């Protein structure tokens, strides 16, 4: 299969809310390769977290480490589904999702961190296969998600940037991957 090239989206291809996520993806990055690189990074990072620390919250109202990973699972599914629909020229407006409601209903803390990490890796593997199968013209397609216009290629960058954002939070706030 030929290499997939996905140019960086222009600012009018996504809602301002997502600008921070798009900015998380380095300008020089190949977003398709970045999907695989993040897969390796997340696996390594989570393998270093002892199960007894996986329910740590840096503040009582914040998510646990397990809940952050569960949120990454849910959001990867949502962003990939939006990407699929828009890349396939489906013009149906796509609803938003309330991340805090998803997390509160999921009971992620009842699962092992290893199980959540495996789930995220499987979802990411499926996302990588989806992305590799999208043709050049489809990356330009636009649709509506959460009441805002968005392009297929912007969704790829948002998906990657969202993961990058939460990896940064895990490192800085939860001290995952950092000496105690």
pLDDT digits (tens, 9 = 90+) for 58-73: 999 999 999 999 999 9
pLDDT band at 2 (very low <50, low <70, confident <90, very high): low
- What confidence tens digit (pLDDT) does each residue in 96-120 have? 999 999 999 999 999 999 999 999 9
Q: Which domains does the chain have, with CATH numbers?
A: 11-62+71-172 (1.20.120.450)
Apex 70 CA angle, 28 and 85, nearest 5: 60
pLDDT in tens, 152-179: 999 999 999 999 999 999 999 999 987 6
Residue 1 in this model has a pLDDT that exceeds 70? no
Q: Is 22 helix (H, G, I), strand (E, B) or coil?
A: helix
Distance between CA atoms of 130 and 69, rounded to whole angstroms?
21
> In angstroms, rounded to a whole number, what is the distance separating the alpha carbons of residues 18 and 119?
25
Q: Which helix (H) or strand (E) holds 60?
A: none
């Amino acid at each position: 299969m030929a290499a997939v090239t996905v140019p960086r989206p222009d600012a009018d291809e996504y809602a301002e809310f997502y600008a921070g996520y798009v900015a998380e993806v380095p300008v020089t990055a190949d977003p398709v390769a970045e999907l695989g690189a993040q897969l390796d990074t997340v696996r390594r990072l989570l393998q270093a977290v002892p199960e007894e620390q996986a329910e740590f919250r840096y503040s009582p109202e914040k998510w646990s480490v397990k809940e952050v990973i569960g949120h990454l699972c849910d959001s990867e599914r949502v962003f990939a589904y939006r990407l699929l629909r828009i890349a396939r020229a489906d013009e149906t407006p796509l609803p938003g999702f309330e991340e805090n409601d998803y997390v509160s209903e999921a009971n992620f803390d009842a699962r092992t961190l290893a199980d959540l990490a495996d789930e995220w890796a499987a979802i990411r593997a499926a996302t990588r296969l989806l992305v590799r199968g999208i043709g050049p013209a489809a990356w330009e397609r636009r649709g509506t998600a959460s009441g805002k216009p968005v392009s297929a290629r912007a969704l790829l960058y948002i998906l990657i940037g969202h993961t990058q954002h939460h990896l940064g939070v895990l490192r800085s706030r939860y001290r995952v991957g950092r000496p105690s």
